[in-house]
Amino acid sequence: MNPASRLARPADVPALAVFIFEHGANPWNYLPQEAVLGHLHGIVEGSVQAVVAEQAGELVGFVTFLHSSNCRDYQPAPRRDLPQGYIGEAVVHRDWVGQGLGSRLLSEAVSQLAAQGVRDIYIERHEENPGSAGMMRKAGFVEVRTFADPERRANGSRRTTLCYLQVE
C-alpha cells in the first residue's frame, strides 16, 4: 500500500514531535529537543509547512519546509535576491525506511515550494549519512559545500553537507 500524503495542520504538531524523536534519532541526526519543538511549532505559526504521510490513519513520515534566506551566500549572483526554500526535517517510520517514502515526501515538499514561487531549495545532512544522501540525490539535490560542524555533528567526520536543487 502507498501511504496517503497531505499538508500538516497545527493539530498534527504533537504527533510530529513524538514521531521525530522516536524515528528520527540516529547517530547522524542533530535533534536538540528545544530547537526541534520550536521548528515544529512554526507549523502552528505558519512559518513552517510540512507534508505528512499516513497509512491506515497512522503517521509514517513527514518532511518540513520553509521560506528562508539563510543560504543566500550560496546562490549564484543573479539569483541571490530570489526566494529560497529550506527543507528542515525529513523523517520516515523505521518500518518504511528504504521504500522510497522519504524521497517521495521530499519531492512533494519541493513541489509545494515551487508552487509558492520558490525555485532555489537547500537541505543539509551529516556528510556520512548514506540514507539521507541517497534520498537527496534521488530528489535531484546536488552537494554544494561540506564543512566542519562539530557542534551539530558528534559522530563520524563531524561535518555537514549542504545540498541544493534549482527547480525549473
Model pLDDT, residue 64: 99
Residue 28 has a pLDDT of: 87
DSSP 146: E
pLDDT of 129 reads 93
* Average predicted confidence (pLDDT) for the chain: 95
* Domain total of the chain: 1
Number of residues assigned to the chain: 168
Low-confidence ranges of the chain (pLDDT < 50): none
pLDDT of residue 107: 96
Enclosing domain of residue 10: 4-166
Q: What does pTM read for this prediction?
A: 0.95
What are residue 61's DSSP bridge partners? 53, 92
Residue 83: CATH number of its domain: 3.40.630.30
Give CA–CA dist 69/54, Å, rounded. Answer: 31
Structure confidence at residue 11 (pLDDT): 98
Sorted by sequence, the CB contacts under 8 Å of residue 100 that are 6+ apart come out as 138
